[in-house]
Amino acid sequence: METWFSYRKRILLSIAIALFNCSSVEKVNVPPKVFQEPYYKPLAESSSDFIFRESESDYKIRKDGHSLPVLAFSPVHYPKSVDGKLATYFEQELGLVWNLAKFTRVKIQKSAWENPEILQAECKKSGVDAIANLKVSDAENGWDFKYELVDPIDGTVFGEFDTSFKKVSPGQNGGGAWSQVFFWKTPESIISLDQKSAIVPIWDKKLELTKISQALDLSISGSVTIRSSSSETDVIWKNKKLGHTPITDLQVPEGVQEFQLSLKGKKPVTKKIQVRSGKKISLYQEWEDDKTLGSAKIVSSPEGLAVSLDGFKQGETPFFRSNLTPGVYQIELIKENVDKALVYFEGNLEVQPDKISEIALPYSSSGLLGDLEFWKASGDGGFSSHSSTEVDFRKTKNLSPGWNGVYSLPLVADELEATGIFSSPIEFGSGVVAFSFHCQGLTIGVEANKDHVNVFKFPSDGKSIGTFKYKTEDKEYGRPFSFRTNSKDKKLEVYLGQNRIWEGPIPFQGNWTLSILTRGDDFHEALPLKDLKIHYRGYK
């Protein structure tokens, strides 16, 4: 069964490839626009207010989740060796186990399963939390059954479990007498089996109720990790003390949740988050305690790179460490494979007193807007930079002129390509969105509005260096752009569609950052980009 997410992703990917291959831009003869140079301005903790937002594309982002998961079973396609009566027998046997699990079952008309869009609408109407897919195949002496519980929106797999039946002919050990085969009694009816072709299927590997229950629980809960600069921080949730930080991979029900963090001698802090099943959320509390020590934060995408400080393995990404003595640490980011370990990055990280030193290596990332560990809010109070699952701009009051949005953690300087997509003019709405690349001595950015895309760079007099319009635009997908670094020639190239509209030298020392911004006086209240991905060439 193809989920709405996989169906839409497949369609959009083909459109994206076509757009990058054929879309082009033309320069528009308009007066240059004057830009204010963007710079990172930390958003005060008190200003980053939680704002609940419903999602048009994801009905599982909601204030309150379900206490019992809502489950839909997809149609089962049996092999030819299973006739109707035998299929009914299997369904009854499997149902005896499923009936012991706690969930609400909904039925979706069979025709809906043939069309992902109709299926999505039906799932939304019934509030389906998970879909149970069952694949039945012939085995050497029976049949194998493999279940998969998946998210109806994005295809996240909550659990997989299998079972099997084996054939036992009448008279064989374990087969029982013929009288056990002639009829299968249910609460509603008695099913007659054909004596001539009757076989006696019995459990070979029984379906495990524990695995079913675990997968169902995951369909209505998300994972929360809480860290702080002090290991003595207490975490309280729903008036229950959970213990000291760090608390990792805590399963929390879907919906809006509140956590209270407290440290002796400090004013307690309450953090409100929005939990979505199948997603990971991280909270970090920095206390102003020992200002003589520093902290380190290292992230990668995908996660799981081993982190070594001064030759000693300290953990895996995402990596947080507080109470570090200031100084320069030699760090290595290592991908550990079965056959060998690959060093993905080797360099220095300077830890300063009362500061968090950060570095990121998104070596192969898609959907980077959904990796909230990668971004830091910047701007004035009165706006929110993200929802529970992705970067998403909203404001709570009128804002003064200036840039508001998110900056990435410092990136490892290497050969990479950052590819993004602005919404098409038809669906863009109001306001402006700018995507910028920042390195030592240079900022180069592209700013989109409803009609055009402006290119700007600093240092300069602030005037745009060109205004462009896409010749080919797609209502569903949008206006693609890319930033590509070349380590051999030490340069950066900027593309709109397939057209290179700027290139110039950049330093490969130090770190780079990316930003996604909007203007307080021309605010774009929506997802700033349709997509963003980064790929470091040569990394797998």
Only one residue has tokens 């879309």, namely: 23
Options 2.60.40, 3.30.200, 3.40.50, 3.10.450; which CATH number does 70-218 get? 3.40.50
Convert the pLDDT of each residue in 213-231 to its tens digit: 999 999 999 999 998 878 8
More confident residue, 180 or 506: 506
Convert the pLDDT of each residue in 170-189 to its tens digit: 555 544 443 444 455 555 54
The answer, yes or no, to whether residue 371 has pLDDT greater than 90, is: no
The answer, yes or no, to whether residue 400 has pLDDT greater than 50, is: yes
Q: Do 69 and 83 form a contact (C-beta atoms < 8 A)?
A: no
Residue 253: is the preceding peptide bond cis (ω within 30°)? no
Measure the CA–CA gap between 86 and 71, rounded to whole angstroms.
24
More confident residue, 144 or 246: 144
Q: Where are the chain's structural domains?
A: 23-56+363-540, 70-218, 221-275, 290-353
The answer, yes or no, to whether residue 200 has pLDDT greater than 80, is: no
Q: What is the mean pLDDT of the chain?
A: 87
pLDDT of residue 334: 93
How remote is the C-alpha of 478 from its chain's centroid? 21
Report in angstroms the alpha-carbon separations of 161 from 7, 157, 395. Answer: 24, 11, 45
Options 2.60.120, 1.10.10, 2.70.70, 1.10.3470; which CATH number does 23-56+363-540 get? 2.60.120
Convert the pLDDT of each residue in 77-121 to its tens digit: 999 999 999 999 999 999 999 999 999 999 999 999 999 999 999
pLDDT of residue 394: 86
Q: Which percentage of the chain shows pLDDT scores above 90?
A: 61
pLDDT of residue 178: 39
Measure the CA–CA gap between 131 and 81, rounded to whole angstroms.
26
Q: Do 97 and 209 form a contact (C-beta atoms < 8 A)?
A: yes
Q: Which percentage of the chain shows pLDDT scores above 70?
A: 87
Convert the pLDDT of each residue in 117-154 to its tens digit: 999 999 999 999 999 999 999 998 899 999 999 999 98
- Name the token pair of 29: 């003869």
Instruction: Compute φ and ψ for 48, nearest 5 degrees.
Output: -85, 65
Mean pLDDT value across residues 468-476: 78
Measure the CA–CA gap between 456 and 438, rounded to whole angstroms.
12
How remote is the C-alpha of 385 from its chain's centroid? 16
The answer, yes or no, to whether residue 14 has pLDDT greater than 60, is: no
- Name the token pair of 324: 């570090």
* Pairing mode of beta strands 466-470, 411-412: unpaired
Mean pLDDT value across residues 44-71: 78
